[in-house]
């Protein structure tokens, strides 16, 4: 493969040398060959540097059956998942994707085979690495990251780089175990540096054309200097395999999540208590603003940290932590990476005065993962809706806005890969009734849904963000 690539590159080089003397052409061809040799050697060195810290992660647990004759009957079966991970600390801390280990009752980690060998003629076929039991310290569904610990010290590890310095077109390498092929590496470029796949979602991704396939999830995306600038997490594909559209979680988001999972086993996300909007030319004209781009603060709820720091409605945000803010999306994304308790410096323009204000980051009230840890798939499964539900009790009530009714079932989590049955539920929704039959717990909800067959109409009464509403659909 390397020989073919070299021949192709040399041929292209020769074709581009029209008009030069034969001697000059020979010198340029030799120079191209030398550069290619140097590039190949650099990639080989980089691979040898990173590979010892890349592991395979195996998990098993109980999950609802979503295909076959038993689908939708509440039957749980043992499910297995295989992914990749990377060692980020010599004490055995490993980062992987949450979807690789979510719901796992057992996690195992396969360490790579040591590259050291006492034999003068090392074999290309290496023995299988060491399998260790892993402990799941915590996971964060919103970023799709998890932290696993193995009882082993002195392990090789990689360091997280600065994903903010990433540029479109940079060469990157993806490490992992695609389709179970351990210790694989692929090469590509950065296709995009800040892909936002859902409107108003502060979570952004690195897009790359580096081949990523099932089993690569959780492996590192590395730049040419050997720095981890992302965690491979998913692909967009019509065939199910790599089609050159892969996505990685930026390392600066990974760093924040890793630090919190290591410290407390969960992630708390912060806000400063403002609503920011992107300035458009029309908005600037209507408000008489001095610029037709950037960010304007349209709401500052009283009593919040931004209000206490002196931020006011109508302030133009110039910078956040010294970074120029071009739009509200950028403002929200940069806030998203901060931990609760951090301080951020917001520079605003007000009446032609530039003010620098120090604002404290507080915990976000509507964390969608706040109920998930209270649910057990064996007890809280509602298979026809593809959710885990928990009954309202005093503890749950304290986690919600004041409710309109006393009894109901809270949507604690939506099951990845499971059918929603046609319902459009969100985490935190409270289900009060099914076809006008009140439900007070998961057993009531499942009993009411047993009376509904595929294709039948279903009417749910739910409460969402303080609003009671109906949701009608045909069961799929």
Catalytic residues: 99, 144, 217
Alpha helices in 288-420 (DSSP H): 305-309, 328-336, 377-380, 394-398
The tokens of 19 are what? 């008009």
Q: What is d(CA 52, CA 161) in angstroms, rounded to the nearest whole number?
A: 18
DSSP E strands in 98-238: the ranges are: 106-110, 131-140, 145-150, 171-176, 184-195, 205-208, 220-223, 228-235
Residue positions counted in the chain: 476
| Half-sphere exposure of residue 278: CA atoms within 13 angstroms, side-chain side | 9
Question: Residue 284: exposed, middle, or buried by beta-carbon count in 10 A (0-12, 13-18, 19+)?
Answer: middle
Helices (H) and strands (E) in the chain, counts: 10, 27
Picking from 248, 124, 241, 227, the residue whose alpha carbon sits closest to that of residue 179 is 241
Closest by CA to 94, choosing from 135, 59, 122, is: 135
Q: Which two tokens stand for residue 171?
A: 């060469």
Euclidean distance between CA atoms 200 and 438, whole angstroms: 34
Residue whose entry in the numeric block shows the structure tokens 């580096």 = 210
Farthest-apart Cα atoms in the chain, separation: 89
Q: What is the CA radius of gyration of the chain?
A: 26
Instruction: Please give the Cα distance from 413 to 404 (Å, whole number).
Output: 22
Q: How many other CB atoms are there within 10 angstroms of residue 277's CB atom?
A: 15
Rounded Cα–Cα distance for residues 404 and 395 (Å): 16
SS3 content of the chain, % helix, strand, coil (to 5): 25, 35, 40
Q: Residue 443 and residue 103: Cα distance in Å, rounded?
A: 21
Residue identified by tokens 């998890």 is 146
Contact residues for 83 (Cβ-Cβ < 8 A; gap 6+): 56, 57, 59, 96, 97, 99, 100, 101, 176, 177, 215, 216, 217, 218, 219
Residues 6+ apart with CB under 8 A from 154: 90
């Amino acid at each position: 493969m390397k020989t073919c690539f070299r021949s192709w590159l040399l041929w292209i080089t020769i074709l581009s040398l029209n008009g030069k003397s034969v001697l000059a052409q020979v010198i340029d061809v030799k120079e191209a060959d030398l550069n290619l040799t140097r590039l190949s050697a650099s990639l080989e060195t980089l691979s040898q540097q990173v590979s010892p810290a890349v592991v395979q992660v195996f998990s098993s647990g109980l999950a609802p059956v979503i295909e076959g004759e038993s689908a939708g009957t509440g039957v749980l079966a043992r499910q297995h998942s295989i992914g990749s991970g990377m060692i980020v600390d010599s004490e055995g801390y490993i980062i992987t994707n949450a979807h690789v280990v979510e719901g796992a009752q057992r996690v195992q980690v396969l360490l790579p085979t040591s590259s050291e060998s006492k034999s003068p003629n090392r074999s290309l076929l290496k023995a299988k690495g060491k399998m260790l039991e892993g402990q799941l310290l915590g996971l964060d569904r919103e970023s799709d990251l998890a932290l696993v610990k193995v009882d082993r010290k002195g392990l090789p590890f990689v360091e997280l780089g600065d994903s903010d310095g990433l540029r479109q077109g940079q060469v990157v390498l993806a490490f992992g175990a695609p389709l179970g092929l351990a210790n694989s590496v692929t090469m590509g470029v950065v296709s995009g540096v800040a892909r936002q796949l859902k409107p108003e979602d502060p979570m952004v991704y690195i897009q790359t054309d580096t081949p990523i396939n099932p089993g690569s999830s959780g492996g590192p995306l590395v730049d040419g200097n050997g720095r981890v600038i992302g965690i491979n997490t998913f692909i967009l594909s019509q065939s199910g395999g790599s089609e050159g559209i892969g996505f990685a979680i930026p390392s600066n988001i990974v760093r924040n999540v890793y630090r919190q999972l290591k410290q407390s086993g969960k992630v708390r996300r912060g806000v400063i208590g403002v609503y920011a909007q992107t300035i458009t030319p029309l908005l600037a004209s209507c408000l008489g603003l001095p610029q037709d781009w950037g960010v304007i603060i349209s709401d500052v709820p009283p009593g919040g940290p931004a209000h206490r720091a002196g931020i006011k409605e109508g302030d133009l945000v110039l910078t956040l932590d010294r970074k120029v803010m071009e739009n509200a999306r950028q403002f929200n994304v940069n806030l998203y990476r901060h931990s609760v308790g951090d301080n951020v410096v917001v520079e605003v323009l007000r009446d032609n005065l530039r003010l620098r204000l120090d604002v404290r980051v507080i915990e976000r009230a509507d964390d969608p993962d706040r109920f998930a840890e209270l649910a057990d798939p064996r007890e809280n499964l509602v298979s026809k809706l593809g959710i885990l539900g928990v009954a309202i009790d005093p503890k749950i009530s304290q986690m919600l806005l004041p409710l309109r009714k006393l009894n109901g079932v809270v949507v604690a989590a939506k099951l990845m890969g499971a059918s929603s049955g046609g319902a459009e539920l969100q985490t935190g929704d409270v289900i009060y009734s099914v076809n006008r039959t009140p439900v007070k717990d998961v057993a009531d909800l499942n009993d009411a849904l047993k009376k509904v067959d595929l294709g039948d109409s279903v009417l749910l009464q739910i409460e969402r963000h303080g609003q009671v509403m109906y949701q009608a659909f045909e069961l799929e």
